């Protein structure tokens, strides 16, 4: 039997660029454990909103340690309010430290049934999985991202307006690109994938071609 090679895929991207959809389809195709790392910051943000701004670090520590991947599917995490709060809590050095070991463990020690891992976020290519076999920076124009997020929120029956969504994505970009700790950036060794004018299928095929070429060589 041919032993499948263990592969690690790292993706960084600004908000609503389509990285999550892409990462999910890649993970499914290559049987990789998928982790949307933004959801962990969103869980912390939601906890903060519910606790009315009092964040207890030792409570969070326990929460992250016992985190179940299923809890990342909670629909409450998808709101714009939680996303914006997540980009604020993600500036905190202690909070980032808290979630790093969970993310690193998913990337390097996925359950045996998987052939590797695929993580997406803001600091994955240079902080969490710096030795990833494949690194991508997935982006799209601001307007395209705002349109996509607006559509997503509408489907969730969230009553946000397009201009509100555009404003909140701009704010998030500002927070994510300019923060001092682990800012969003494209590393030199990441391949740029601009999804503005590409269908989901076209994006997937573009990445698949790159991965297949390397694993079959
Ligand atoms: O990807 P998503 O929009 O769910 O991320 C929410 C926020 O979490 C981002 O705006 C970013 O500030 C933060 N984040 C981060 N590092 C990651 C993933 C997300 O700082 N690896």
Helix (H, G, I), strand (E, B) or coil at 118: strand
Residue 53 confidence (pLDDT): 66
User: How many other CB atoms are there within 10 angstroms of residue 85's CB atom?
Assistant: 20
Do residues 206 and 198 make contact, with C-beta atoms less than 8 angstroms apart? yes
Contact 87, 175 (CB under 8 A): yes
Query: Which residues, 6+ apart, have CB-to-CB distance to 4 below 8 Å?
Result: 115
How many Å lie between the centroid of ligand 1 and the Cα of residue 84? 9
Of 14-18, 152-156, 209-213, the poorest mean pLDDT is in 152-156
Atom of ligand 1 nearest to the CA of 77: 4
Beta carbon of 87 within 6 Å of any ligand 1 atom: yes
Best-predicted range by mean pLDDT (1-10, 112-121, 150-159): 112-121
Percent of the chain exceeding pLDDT 90 equals: 80
52 has a pLDDT exceeding 80: no
- Supply 73's token pair: 């599917």
Distance from the CA of 66 to the center of ligand 1, in angstroms?
Answer: 20
Q: Does residue 3 register a pLDDT over 80?
A: no
Least confident interval from 167-171, 185-189, 204-208: 167-171
Give the closest residue (by CA) to ligand 1 atom 1: 38
Q: What are the extents of the domains in the chain?
A: 7-202
The CB of 38 under 6 Å from ligand 1? The reply is yes
In order of 2, 22, 212, 216, the CA distances from 208 in angstroms are: 20, 10, 6, 12
Q: Is the CB of 90 under 6 A from ligand 1?
A: yes
- Give the closest residue (by CA) to ligand 1 atom 19: 38
Instruction: Please measure the distance between the N-terminal and C-terminal CA atoms of the chain and give it in whole angstroms.
Output: 18
Task: Please give the distance, rounded to the nearest whole angstrom, from the Cα atom of residue 135 to the centre of ligand 1.
Answer: 17
Is residue 86 in contact with ligand 1, taking CB distance under 6 Å? yes
Residues facing residue 12 across a β-bridge = 121, 137
- As its CATH architecture, domain 7-202 has 3-Layer(aba) Sandwich (3.40)
Position 27 scores a pLDDT of 98
Q: Does the C-beta of 79 come closer than 6 Å to ligand 1?
A: no
pTM strictly above 0.85: yes
């Amino acid at each position: 039997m041919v032993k499948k090679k263990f592969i690690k895929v790292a993706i960084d991207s600004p908000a609503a660029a389509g990285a999550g959809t892409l990462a999910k389809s890649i993970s499914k195709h290559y049987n990789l454990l998928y982790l949307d790392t933004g959801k962990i910051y969103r869980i912390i943000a939601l906890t903060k909103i519910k606790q009315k701004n009092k964040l207890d670090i030792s409570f969070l520590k326990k929460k992250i340690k016992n985190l179940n991947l299923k809890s990342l599917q909670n629909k409450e995490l998808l709101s714009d309010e939680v996303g914006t709060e997540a980009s604020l809590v993600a500036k905190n050095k202690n909070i980032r430290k808290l979630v790093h070991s969970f993310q690193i463990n998913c990337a390097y020690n996925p359950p045996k049934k998987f052939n590797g891992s695929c993580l997406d976020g803001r600091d994955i290519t240079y902080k969490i999985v710096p030795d990833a076999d494949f690194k991508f920076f997935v982006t799209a124009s601001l307007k395209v991202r705002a349109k996509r997020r607006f559509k997503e929120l509408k489907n969730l029956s969230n009553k946000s307006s397009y201009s509100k969504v555009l404003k909140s994505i701009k704010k998030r970009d500002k927070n994510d690109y300019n923060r001092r700790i682990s800012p969003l950036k494209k590393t030199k060794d990441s391949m740029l994938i601009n999804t503005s004018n590409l269908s989901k299928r076209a994006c997937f095929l573009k990445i698949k071609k790159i991965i297949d070429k390397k694993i079959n060589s």
